[in-house]
Amino acid sequence: MSEIPRLSGPFRVGDRVQLTGPKGRLSTITLREGGELHTHHGVLRHEALVGQPDGSVVVNSSGHEYLALRPLLRDFVMSMPRGAAIVYPKDAAQILSQADIFPGAVVVEAGVGSGALSLWLLRAIGATGRLVSFERREEFADVAKANVETYVGESPATWEVVVGDLVEALPEAVAPASVDRVVLDMLAPWECIDVVADALTPGGVVLCYVATATQLSRVAEFIRATGLFTEPDANETMVRGWHVEGLAVRPDHRMIAHTGFLLTARRLAPGAVAPEQKRRASKSSYGDEDVELWTPGAVGDRQITDKNLRKRVREAQKAADGVRQAGQDAAESNP
C-alpha cells in the first residue's frame, strides 16, 4: 500500500483523525490548512493538531478536551459508507489467514461491495501484489472505489476494479492458472466455481464467505463434485468481548453472534485426483456403517456388560424392596 495515508508519526495536513470529545462523542476529520471543527461545545482549530503526536489530547476554544487518534483500519471500515453489507474485521482477519493472502500475491475478489475486504486484501498483498476486484453493480463499485481512495489517499496502483459478473469477466481479465487466491463474497458462489478453477494456479486457494448454512452446503457440494479441489474446510468465527474493570471481569452481555461461514479449498494440479478420503456416505444414501456411527459406543457411551447389567437390576430391585418394606413397616406401626 502507498505511503498515503500516513499510518503513524505526528499529525500532518491531509491526515484523517478520529476525535473523542465531550461525553465520548466521536467525530472524524481530515486535517486542512485553516480548518475548524465547530460544535455546540466550541471550535477546535485543525492547526492545534498538526505536528502533535498521534494519541494527543487537545483543547478547543471553550476548554473542552479532545483525544485525537488516527483511525485504525477496523475503525475506518466500520464507519465508512456502505452500498452492500461489509465483511466485518473479525472475518477479514480470518480470511487473510485462511486464504493465506501474502505479500506479492495475485488475488481475485468478488463482489467488491463496499470495498471493506478490498482494503484488508490490499494491505496484505503489499506493494508487489495485485488485487483484481469484480463487481456486477456499478454503483457498488463506485462506493468501493471511493472508500478505498478515502482510506489510501489515492487509487492504489496494485488494484483494479472490473465492473461485470465474475463468470463472464474473470476469463477475460486474467490468464488461466495465473491467480494465487480467490475470495468470493456473494450470494451464489457456486455459479463462479468453474471459472475460478480455470483461473487458479495449482495449489491456489479459493475462499467462500457465505451467510447461511444452505449456501455453505451448496457451495461445498459443488466444489466436491468438480473433483478439481481438495476437500473443503468450513468454519465460523465468534468473537466475544469482555468487560474488564476492577472486580467486574466478565463477558460482554451482547455480541455479534453470527456474520458468516468461511469455506476454503485448494486447486489440485491439472489431471491430479485427490486420494480417496474415508468419508461417510451422504445422508441421503446412508448405509449400515453410518447407522453404526451413532451407536452409543461410537458416540462415547460405554456399553454395559450383561454381568454388570444383572448387577444393576439387583441394586435397583433391592432399593425398591427397601422402599416397599419401609411402607409396610410404617403401616404396621400406625394401624
What is the three-class DSSP state of 300?
A: coil
Q: Is residue 140 a contact point for ligand SAM (CB under 6 A)? A: yes
Q: Is residue 74 a contact point for ligand SAM (CB under 6 A)? A: no
Least CB distance to ligand SAM at residue 169 (A): 7
Q: Is residue 84 a contact point for ligand SAM (CB under 6 A)? A: yes
Q: Is residue 117 a contact point for ligand SAM (CB under 6 A)? A: yes
Candidate ranges 130-138, 150-158, 236-244, 290-298; the one touching ligand SAM (CB under 6 A) = 130-138
Least CB distance to ligand SAM at residue 268 (A): 24
- Please say whether the beta carbons of 232 and 298 come within 8 A: no
Helix, strand, coil distribution of the chain in percent, nearest 5:
35, 25, 40
Q: Quick one: which of 94, 114, 259, 264 contacts ligand SAM (CB under 6 A)?
A: 114
H or E element at residue 200: strand 200-210
Q: Is residue 166 a contact point for ligand SAM (CB under 6 A)? A: yes
Chain residue at closest Cβ approach to ligand SAM: 111
Rounded CA gap, 166 and 110, in Å?
7
Q: Quick one: which of 7, 43, 85, 274 contacts ligand SAM (CB under 6 A)?
A: 85
Q: Quick one: which of 66, 76, 134, 151 contacts ligand SAM (CB under 6 A)?
A: 134
Q: What is the secondary structure of 307-332 as a DSSP string?
A: HHHHHHHHHHHHHHHHHHHHHHHHHH
Q: Which is nearer to ligand SAM, 58 or 184 (CB)?
A: 184
Q: Is residue 185 a contact point for ligand SAM (CB under 6 A)? A: yes
Q: What is the CA radius of gyration of the chain?
A: 30
Q: How many binding residues for ligand SAM (CB under 6 A)?
A: 23
Q: Is residue 115 a contact point for ligand SAM (CB under 6 A)? A: yes
Alpha carbon dihedral 82, 85, 87, 89, in 10-degree steps, equals 60
Candidate ranges 63-71, 122-130, 185-193, 279-287; the one touching ligand SAM (CB under 6 A) = 185-193
Q: Quick one: which of 49, 96, 186, 208 contacts ligand SAM (CB under 6 A)?
A: 186
Rounded CA gap, 82 and 78, in Å?
9
Rounded CA gap, 190 and 206, in Å?
11
Burial label for 86, CB within 10 Å (0-12, 13-18, 19+), is buried
Q: Is residue 86 a contact point for ligand SAM (CB under 6 A)? A: yes
Residue 43: phi, psi to the nearest 5?
-120, 130
Q: Is residue 148 a contact point for ligand SAM (CB under 6 A)? A: no
Residues that bind ligand SAM (CB under 6 A): 84-87, 110-111, 113-117, 134-137, 140, 165-167, 185-187, 192
